[in-house]
Amino acid sequence: MKKEFYIITYDIGDDKRLRKVHKFLKDYGKAVQKSVFECWLTEKEFEKVVNWLENFINIEEDRVRIYQLCNSCRKNALWSGLVEFSENPDTELII
């Protein structure tokens, strides 16, 4: 199954909901900052994540943004500080 790369960011107004969102997203990606995840998701996984978030967050207090990035866009990303890029788990490294 083909996986696409997504960045999921969130600002959750309640600490209990914040912890639940973080815990949920850990099953689908890697936390790269306090409220930012990088995720490689199949179409089915993406739909599950979006549906769960839409049903869980408080739309009057919380914000979630999901960005899909193609490989070219990922290669053009700028960064500074401690950086570990989330590689596609389905890609085989040939040495």
* pLDDT values of the chain reduced to their tens digit, one per residue, 95 residues: 899 999 999 999 999 999 999 999 999 999 999 999 999 999 999 999 999 999 999 999 999 999 999 888 887 777 777 666 666 666 544 43
Mean of pLDDT over the chain:
88
- If phi over 0 gives left and psi between -120 and 50 gives alpha, with beta otherwise, what is residue 91? beta
CA-CA-CA-CA torsion sign (90, 83, 22, 67): negative
For 15, 25, 70, the CA distances from 78, given in Å and listed in that order, are 30, 24, 15
* Structural domains of the chain in order of their starting residue, each with its CATH number: 4-75 (3.30.70.240)
Closest among 42, 53, 49 to 27, alpha carbons compared:
49
What is the model's pLDDT at position 92? 46
pLDDT tens readout for residues 83-94: 666 666 665 444
How far out from the chain centre does Cα 93 lie? 23
